[in-house]
Structure 1
Amino acid sequence: MNAHAKHEGLPGEELGMPIDPGLDPAHEAEILVLTPRAPEPNDGIEMDADIAEYWELWSEQIGHALVPVLEKLEKSLPGFASAMICTADGFNLCTLGVEEEQVTRLSAMTSSLHSIADVMSTSVHEGDELLDVLSLSNGSSSTVLMAIRHLIIGQVLLWVTAENDTLGALLMRARVAARDVSSILRDR
């Protein structure tokens, strides 16, 4: 594939030669040619191949886009303690209420916890349905872990913890947040 550009000196005059899609020595900038791939069948948990290829670039932008979802969740739960959205394989996208040095550890454990619960659920229950929601309670603290699938990045996990809120209220607010995540990252 060749890329063409306008000549700087004369407005509207096309350069006659193609630009090499490698390194441009005059400007020391790399031209990256992206070719769209045909969409592949998706089971709802696999990441789009183009996004996976440029994950570092995409993950930061996606994380910034999802922060308002967690902020809305924080405002809706009086006992809000923390929330996180991470990939199914344990990479943090955005977090609220967790100390920075704990984020990587928590996102990895969230992924592991969901994977173990999913395997346990499918081995006990009939069918191949994937686990949607996992809840944990410890004293007055409740945590909901929810899988959100069929997104442009495959599947993400939403982790929400609250103190002194009912599990029902926490589940309801987590479902609203999951819908918000879906509307931002829906696989079109």
Structure 2
Amino acid sequence: MPPATTPRGGAGRVPPSGDARSPAKRPRDSDDSGSDGDGDSDSDSDGGLVSDLKEIVCLLRLIKGGANRDGQRMCEQIIASVAAEIQTMLEETQLKFEMERQNLLKVLSNTSKECENSLNEEYSKLQETYDMFCREKDAHMQTFRDLFSEVEVEKKKLLEQYEHHNLFSEVEVEKKKLLEQYEHHNGDHHVIRT
């Protein structure tokens, strides 16, 4: 492969075949009367043309190689640029995803705290209501026990009164029987006397 420093154009280039043509031109310029000089000049001109064509072909190959290298370098630059853009897009997407994830975690954390606070408040209200119910239940139970005790006392009094009344009734019956017996006995004694 030719070196990269080889010029692509013909500007400022000294033809390598110039030295080969110059001896042919010099005899043509210096020899004005020789008839063999025309044939030699035509042959030298054809040889110089072939050499120029070969040089042009070589230069075209150099240009093509340089163009290929430039195209490859450009492709590499394009690929590197696209890769950098893709990497940037991936990093931006990852950063955006991370930010959205952090925001979602914050929202979930705040929602969780709000739910926890709400549950604690509701539990406190429920506990307070339950404690109040227990106090009222105990108060009602105590009132019921007191009322039941009073009923038992009244029942006992009524039973005592009933028993006393029965006893009094029995006494009255016995008293009445005794009076009847006494009257009957007195009546019989009076009849005997008469």
Structure 2 length normalisation: TM-score? 0.16
Greater RCO (CA < 8 Å, at least 6 residues apart): 1
Bigger proportion of residues as strand: 1
TM-score (norm 1): 0.17
Between Structure 1 and Structure 2, whose CA radius of gyration is higher? 2
Higher helix proportion (structure 1 or 2): 2
